[in-house]
Amino acid sequence: MRNEGFHVGIIPDGSRRWGRRNSKPPLWDGKESGEKAREIIEHIFKNHPEITEITIWAMSTENFQRNQEDKERVHALIEYLIKKMIGESIIQERKIRVNFFGTKIEEVSVSLKDAIKRSMELTKAHSKLKLNIGLGYGGKSEIVMAAINLAKKIQEKSPLKNLSERVSQKVFEEFLMVPRPLDLIIRTGGEKRLSGFMLYQAEYAELFFLDSLWPDFTTKEFDKVMSEFRKRERRFGK
């Protein structure tokens, strides 16, 4: 049994549909989605001590193919979110370590990059609770990068001899962006698929697919998910 708590993954889907349904203008800044993320993250860290790590997927690698205006809005939103969370001290109070990950972090706006750097610097000493935010992240890209970086690193040590044996599961996992396996994954927005979120880490994760569009997702619904999670029997292949 893990005494290190649970790792929850969140795929916050449905914002665009919510925007259309609620007659938001095409240039809607997505503020409600951002606020929802803040609300849920704070709720979890305040009221669910059994959860010690949250990984939330803010933007996928495919999302980065959207038009420039779209991207800028999302970046502005994320920047606003980080500043608010740090400013309102939940991050400092609960000693949450903030980690941004993804293969496209270099492509975000300068001010967001700054905010990311600062938040990670500010919280790097925190160790009990973790908040991972995926930006330009895709599970397949993560695995490709891990394979490349592992191959490069392993050659450095010594040549061909025993190279094959030195690539173990443990070694491979060191090259992942978020090494810890997920205990559960929540996807809002009605779709029943993972879309490449944390593929390797989803190995034995309990999956929860909810119809609620992300901005409509409530803390009560989250509590219900945790309640059901506790009831599920996890066998890990036994």
- Is the separation of the CB atoms in 163 and 130 below 8 Å? no
Residue type, 82: I
Minimum distance, C-beta of residue 189 to another protein, in the bound complex (Å): 11
* Helix (H/G/I), strand (E/B), else coil: 83: helix
User: Of 13, 99, 132, 183, which is the active-site residue?
Assistant: 13
User: Of 29, 63, 216, 223, which is the active-site residue?
Assistant: 63
Residues in touch with another protein (CB under 8 A): 60-63, 65, 138-141, 143-144, 146-148, 150-152, 154-155, 159-160, 163-164, 167-169, 172, 191-196, 199-200, 202-209, 232-233, 235-238
Minimum distance, C-beta of residue 115 to another protein, in the bound complex (Å): 25
Q: Measured from the CB atom, is 126 or 180 closer to another protein?
A: 180
Catalytic: 63?
A: yes
Closest CA to 78 of 111, 44, 123, 122: 111
Minimum distance, C-beta of residue 187 to another protein, in the bound complex (Å): 10
Q: Measured from the CB atom, is 127 or 158 closer to another protein?
A: 158
Helices (H), 23-168: 31-47, 68-87, 90-93, 110-123, 139-157, 163-166
At 31, give phi and psi (nearest 5°). -55, -40
Q: Measured from the CB atom, is 93 or 203 closer to another protein?
A: 203
User: Could you give the C-alpha distances from 129 to 154, 164, 176, in angstroms and in order?
Assistant: 31, 35, 19
Q: Measured from the CB atom, is 110 or 238 closer to another protein?
A: 238
Catalytic: 162?
A: no
User: Could you give the C-alpha distances from 124 to 16, 171, 224, in angstroms and in order?
Assistant: 33, 23, 32
Minimum distance, C-beta of residue 238 to another protein, in the bound complex (Å): 4
The catalytic site residues sit at: 13, 63
